[in-house]
């Protein structure tokens, strides 16, 4: 006897929107929902399995029996199976037993489950995302903190290896324990946002979360959905935004996951040239299927709405947009226009961006991790763009790291790797990443990418950070880089926090803290970070000295900062052209003693009324070795020109 009763949360309009690919709140319909029918409490289940012969709910409540609780197929041809089971409560374990057209019985976890077990069986749990939020102040004003003309400095971290339990380093901390440590640290360091590598449920630790099975479930490695919400709530209450990594590009082939969900290629593309990823051995979503688009866009909405996320960093966008990504000739099929763009994926991303920005306005950010030069990625959809808020500036990251790896005496041959970014830096709204991908798989930590002895390595890294923080665009720094972690990132253990016992590492941390606060305090660094009026080269071609000089400008005429990089180990007396009536003061020197530098002062040695570098005046500055200095324009009109005594 079937113990399932008829019940539905779907209206005809819901089903219509789902089939059209325009239902963006499916998490309120699909999955397991605590409801009441005729005065009796229970759980309503619904799942999409259009090619199934039969679907039943199995779990610890019926001894995993396929015959006891069979769902009803809807009459409308939608492929939705649903039903109501009495007596179930929060914490009930369940799966769907799906009989395929060929008679197979597949045991699948719920694609819309809010929580999963953390074991090989990985059953779904009847759960809830109810939480009493207390971040109203943040939510009301976050549109200012997430806007393109606000300072955005992101701390990227992997929750499983940021810090572990002191007495049990093989044990994860709970989300709440992480909050106790992370919130004051990120606040003191001056980061405006944190970015979590995927917190959605995933089975395989070495994937770092990028091969997701439970797209709607916060990973139970670190606690309950409410524990993650507590972490986000605490960050918000301390004025720190939260960006989540989101992976709509692919999913693993785990038996209980989305792969061949009802015996057919339901979520993935049937053609392996479009549906299988050769590098990651995973399956690519079918972006041309409307129900799949509804699933994915609803998933984005879910994390933004239920978890109060301030943004989504969309992973592997390059692989989504290119049919020939990681494929040899003959292994891919051109689109209908004869090109290599996955037009269905592009349309999906346009729909995703349109939907989330319509729902949340400019209070959230979408960020593309995209390594090609795909055009108009951050331009509005109505102008032919893809609609992202920002894009990772991968070209800048690779060119910059390649340059800094060079010995100083060789840098003159690579000088324009630093200046090249200025050719295209306003083509898109860029975030400048020094991300996790650059400190794993034999690539070395940032500090060990730097050439020279220990002193030179740290001096180079400090200069790199000054360059990064003063370049136009938002910033992203991976955990551990803020104190010069020496080993490559290892997801199985905590960061090497003990390194902060050494002044040379503490100095790097102090510099990042000061750069973060300076970036936030000086409007010239962020007001025009995405338009051409915010940047000007003063000296871009001094190959022999490996010196770079540029200005950053705010909205006000006198809101100007000058950045000077000396990327050789020599102390230089350097002459720079400036405008009439302007005077400068040094506000940051990466070679300062407080950062464990050599302590060489960055003195302004003279100011003269003589034309230089096509400017009517000049100043001569003492440049410390392998250093970045930041100067601020003095605004005291009574300031008189004078020559500062030359220091030998």
Task: Give the pLDDT confidence of 530-559 residue by residue, as tens digits.
Answer: 999 999 999 999 999 999 999 999 999 889
**What's residue 633's pLDDT?**
84
Is 524 a residue whose pLDDT tops 90?
A: yes
Count helices and strands in the chain by DSSP H and E runs:
13, 30
Third-level CATH fold of 161-248+303-332+367-525: TIM Barrel (3.20.20)
Separation CA 176–CA 178 (nearest Å)? 5
Is 646 a residue whose pLDDT tops 60?
A: no
**Mapping DSSP to helix (H, G, I), strand (E, B) and coil, where does residue 594 land?**
helix
Q: Is the Cβ–Cβ distance between 241 and 367 less than 8 Å? A: no
**What's residue 635's pLDDT?**
66
The mean predicted confidence, pLDDT, of the chain is: 94
**Averaged pLDDT, 191-210:** 96
State the residue for tokens 């003492």: 622
**Averaged pLDDT, 482-510:** 97
Q: Is the Cβ–Cβ distance between 26 and 298 less than 8 Å? A: yes
Best CA proximity match to 320, nearest among 366, 357, 365, 285 = 285
Separation CA 210–CA 204 (nearest Å)? 9
DSSP string, 56-113: EEEETTTTT-SSSSBPEEPTTSS-EEEEEEET--TT-EEEEEEE-TTS-EEEE--TT-
**Mapping DSSP to helix (H, G, I), strand (E, B) and coil, where does residue 209 land?**
coil
Taking CA atoms, 429 is separated from 390, 392, 532, 586, in Å, by 5, 9, 11, 29
**pLDDT category, 648, cuts 50, 70, 90?**
very low
Is 535-633 CATH 2.60.40.1180? yes
Same CATH topology for 12-125 and 161-248+303-332+367-525? no
Task: Give the pLDDT confidence of 427-445 residue by residue, as tens digits.
Answer: 999 999 999 999 999 999 9
**Averaged pLDDT, 24-53:** 96
**What's residue 609's pLDDT?**
83
**pLDDT category, 611, cuts 50, 70, 90?**
confident
Active site residues: 315, 369
Separation CA 606–CA 593 (nearest Å)? 24
Third-level CATH fold of 12-125: Immunoglobulin-like (2.60.40)
Worst-scoring range by mean pLDDT, 94-108, 112-126, 221-235, 284-298? 112-126
**Averaged pLDDT, 479-494:** 96
The number of CA neighbours under 13 Å toward the Cβ of 59 is 26
**What's residue 326's pLDDT?**
93
Name the pTM for this structure.
0.95
Best CA proximity match to 200, nearest among 96, 282, 258, 115 = 115
Domain limits, the chain:
12-125, 161-248+303-332+367-525, 535-633
**What's residue 581's pLDDT?**
67
């Amino acid at each position: 006897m079937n113990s399932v009763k008829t019940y539905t949360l779907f209206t005809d309009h819901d089903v219509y929107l789902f089939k059209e690919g325009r239902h963006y709140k499916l998490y309120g319909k699909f999955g397991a929902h605590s409801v009441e029918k005729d005065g009796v409490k229970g759980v309503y289940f619904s799942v999409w399995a259009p090619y199934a012969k039969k679907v039943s709910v199995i779990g610890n409540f019926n001894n995993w029996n396929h015959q006891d609780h069979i769902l009803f197929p809807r009459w409308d041809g939608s492929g939705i199976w649903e039903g109501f089971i009495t007596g179930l409560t929060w914490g009930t374990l369940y799966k769907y037993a799906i009989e395929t057209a060929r008679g197979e019985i597949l045991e699948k976890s719920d694609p819309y489950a809010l929580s999963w077990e953390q074991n090989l069986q990985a059953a779904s749990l009847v759960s809830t995302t109810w939480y009493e939020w207390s971040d109203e102040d943040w939510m009301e004003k976050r549109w200012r903190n997430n806007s393109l003309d606000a300072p955005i400095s992101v701390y990227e971290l992997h929750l499983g290896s940021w810090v572990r339990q002191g007495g049990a380093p093989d044990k994860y901390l709970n989300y709440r324990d992480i909050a106790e440590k992370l919130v004051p640290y990120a606040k003191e360091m001056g980061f405006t946002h944190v970015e979590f590598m995927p917190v959605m449920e995933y089975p395989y630790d070495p994937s770092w979360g990028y091969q997701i099975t439970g797209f709607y479930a916060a990973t139970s490695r670190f606690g309950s959905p409410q524990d993650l919400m507590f972490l986000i709530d605490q960050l918000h209450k301390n004025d720190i935004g939260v960006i989540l990594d989101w992976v709509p590009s692919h999913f693993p082939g785990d038996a209980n996951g989305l792969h061949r969900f009802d015996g057919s290629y339901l979520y993935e593309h049937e053609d392996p040239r479009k549906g299988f990823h050769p590098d990651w051995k995973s399956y690519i979503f079918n972006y041309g299927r409307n129900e799949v688009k509804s699933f994915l866009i609803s998933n984005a909405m879910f994390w933004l709405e239920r978890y109060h996320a301030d943004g989504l960093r969309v992973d592997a966008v390059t692989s989504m947009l290119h049919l020939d990504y990681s494929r040899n000739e003959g292994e891919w099929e051109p689109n209908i226009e004869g090109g290599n763009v996955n037009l269905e994926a592009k349309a999906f991303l346009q729909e995703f961006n349109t939907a989330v920005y319509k729902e949340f306005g400019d209070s959230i950010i979408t960020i593309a991790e995209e390594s090609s030069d795909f055009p108009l990625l951050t331009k509005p959809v109505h102008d032919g763009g893809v609609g992202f808020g920002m894009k990772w500036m991968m070209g800048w990251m690779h060119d910059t790291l390649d340059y800094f790896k060079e010995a100083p005496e060789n840098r003159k041959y690579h000088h324009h790797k630093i200046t090249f970014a200025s050719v295209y830096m306003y083509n898109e709204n860029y975030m400048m990443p020094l991300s996790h991908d650059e400190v794993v798989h034999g690539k070395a930590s940032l500090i060990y990418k730097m050439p020279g002895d220990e002193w030179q390595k740290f001096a180079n890294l400090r200069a790199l950070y000054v360059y990064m923080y003063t370049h136009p665009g938002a910033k992203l720094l991976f955990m551990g880089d803020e104190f010069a972690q020496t080993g490559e990132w290892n997801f199985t253990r905590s960061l090497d926090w003990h390194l902060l016992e050494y002044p040379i590492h503490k100095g790097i941390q102090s510099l990042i803290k000061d750069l973060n606060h300076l970036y936030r305090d000086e409007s010239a660094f962020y007001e025009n970070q995405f338009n051409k009026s915010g940047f000007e080269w003063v000296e871009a071609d001094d190959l022999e000295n490996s010196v770079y000089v540029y200005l950053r400008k705010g909205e006000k005429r006198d809101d100007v900062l000058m950045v000077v990089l000396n990327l050789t180990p020599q102390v230089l007396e350097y002459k720079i052209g400036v405008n009439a009536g302007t005077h400068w003061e040094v506000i940051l020197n990466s070679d300062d003693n407080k950062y464990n530098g050599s302590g060489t002062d960055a003195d302004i040695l003279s100011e003269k009324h003589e034309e230089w570098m096509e400017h009517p005046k000049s100043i001569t500055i003492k440049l410390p070795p392998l250093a970045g200095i930041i100067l601020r324009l003095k605004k005291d009109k009574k300031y008189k020109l004078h020559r500062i005594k030359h220091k030998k």
